[in-house]
Amino acid sequence: MEVLVRLERVGSVARIVLARPHAGNAISLDVALQLRGVAEACASDPEVRAVLVSAEGKAFCVGGDLTEFQAVAGRERSDLLRRMADAFHAAQLCILSMPKPVVVSVHGAVAGAGLGLALLGDLVIASSSAHFSSAYTSIGLSADGGSTYLLPRLVGLRRAQQLLLTNRRLMADEALEWGLVTEVVAPEALVEAATEKVDALANGPTAAYGVIRRLLLASSTTDFATQTEEEGRHIARLAAGADASEGFAAFREKRRPLFTGADA
C-alpha cells in the first residue's frame, strides 16, 4: 500500500507528514484512513510527548480530492464522502483530544479539509506563502472538517461566516491578525521554526499541557463554576507530581527545569 501519510519519530516528537505532494496533499479516502491510523498511533504511544503536523510539496493541503469525487456520482458519491468524512473526523478528534501538544506547520494552499487540519494545532506556524480558504461552497458543498466548530472559536462568528460563506482567501499576515495562526515566518525558516516550537513543547511539562488542552476544549460547553472546579482538581493533582516538584526545585535553585512529562 502506498504511504500517503507518514509517521516519523524524532526523540519524543511524532511527526505526521502528508506525503501526497503530486496531488497537493488532497484528502482522498485512503489519506483519511491513513491519517486516522497515524493519529491513533501518536495518541496511544506513551513515548510521544508532542506532535508536529506538516506536509511535503508546494501545498499543505488543497482540500478534498476532487478527482476521486468526480469518478463517482449520486448515491455512490454520497457514500464515498460520508466514509471519507467519518475517517477524517475521527482523525481530527483523536488529534484534538490527545493529551499531547500539537504544532501544525503550514505553507502554500491550506484549503477545505486542509484548513480543518490546520485548525487543530495548539500552535500554528505559517510560511508567508500560506493562504487559507474554505472552498466547500465553490463546489456546492457545505462546510466540513470541523470548520463550523473550530473557526468561530478561533476567529469569532462573524469572521467565520465570512470565510465559510464567501470563500474569501486569507493571506498569512491577515490570518495572523485574525488569530488563525500563531506565527508567520519566511518560507526558508518554516521547518526550523516549527521544529523549535515542537521540541520546546516536548521538553516541557506535557502532563500539564494535556490538562490545559482538555480544559480549553471543554470551556465552551461548561459554566464558570464547573470549569474552575476542574481547574482546581487538576492543579491540586499535578502539584503532587514529579514535574511540579522539579519545577519548584528549579525555581528555588535558579536553573532551567528538566521536566519528564510524568503525570501525578
C-alpha cell belonging to residue 117: 487540519
| Average pLDDT of the segment spanning 208-222 | 94
Q: Where are the alpha helices (DSSP H) in 98-223?
A: 113-118, 147-155, 157-166, 172-178, 190-202, 206-218
Is 32 contained in some domain? yes
Is 237 contained in some domain? yes
Q: Are residues 240 and 159 in the same domain?
A: no
Is 260 contained in some domain? no
pLDDT at 263: 76
Is 226 contained in some domain? yes
pLDDT at 70: 86
For the whole model, what pTM was predicted?
A: 0.94
Q: Are residues 196 and 216 in the same domain?
A: no
* Percent of the chain with pLDDT strictly greater than 70: 100
How far apart CA 128 and CA 227 sit, in angstroms, is 37
Count how many Cα atoms sit within 13 Å of the Cα of residue 33 in the half-sphere of its side chain: 10
Say which range, 55-59, 65-69, 100-104, 251-255, has the weakest mean pLDDT: 65-69
Q: Are residues 185 and 64 in the same domain?
A: yes
Q: Are residues 187 and 212 in the same domain?
A: no
Is 262 contained in some domain? no
- How far lies 138's CA from each of 46, 51, 71, 131, in Å? 42, 32, 18, 16
Q: Are residues 69 and 151 in the same domain?
A: yes
Q: Quick check: 1 pLDDT over 90?
A: no
Quick: pLDDT tens for 111-130: 999 999 999 999 999 999 99
C-alpha cell belonging to residue 76: 455512490
- How far lies 174's CA from each of 65, 108, 133, 195, 205, in Å? 27, 15, 12, 23, 32
Q: Are residues 70 and 107 in the same domain?
A: yes
Q: Quick check: 261 pLDDT over 70?
A: yes
Query: Nearest-CA neighbor of 134 among 96, 173, 160?
Result: 160
Q: Which CATH number belongs to the domain containing residue 232 in this structure?
A: 1.10.12
Confidence bin at 147 (pLDDT 50/70/90): very high
Confidence bin at 109 (pLDDT 50/70/90): very high
pLDDT at 264: 63
Confidence bin at 181 (pLDDT 50/70/90): very high
Q: Does residue 120 come out as left (phi exceeding 0), alpha (psi in the -120 to 50 range) or beta?
A: alpha
C-alpha cell belonging to residue 9: 519519530
Q: Are residues 55 and 153 in the same domain?
A: yes
Q: Are residues 158 and 239 in the same domain?
A: no
- List residues with catalytic annotation: 89, 144
| Average pLDDT of the segment spanning 135-150 | 94
Q: Are residues 182 and 220 in the same domain?
A: no
Pairing of strands 13-18, 170-171: unpaired
For residue 108, report the phi and psi dihedrals to the nearest 5 degrees: 60, -145
Q: Are residues 102 and 198 in the same domain?
A: yes
What is the tally of structural domains in the chain?
Answer: 2
Q: Are residues 162 and 211 in the same domain?
A: no
Is 264 contained in some domain? no
Full domain range(s) for residue 213: 206-253
Quick: pLDDT tens for 28-78: 999 999 999 999 999 999 999 999 999 999 999 999 999 998 898 899 999
* Percent of the chain with pLDDT strictly greater than 90: 95
Q: Are residues 149 and 190 in the same domain?
A: yes
Strand locations in the chain, DSSP E? 5-10, 13-18, 50-55, 102-106, 109-111, 123-127, 131-133, 170-171, 183-185
pLDDT at 190: 98
Is 25 contained in some domain? yes
Is 238 contained in some domain? yes
Q: Quick check: 220 pLDDT over 90?
A: no
- How far lies 39's CA from each of 2, 117, 238, in Å? 17, 12, 26
Q: Quick check: 10 pLDDT over 90?
A: yes
Over the chain, what is the mean pLDDT? 96
| Average pLDDT of the segment spanning 84-98 | 97
- Where a domain ends, among 164, 181, 202? 202
Q: Which CATH number belongs to the domain containing residue 23 in this structure?
A: 3.90.226.10
pLDDT at 254: 95
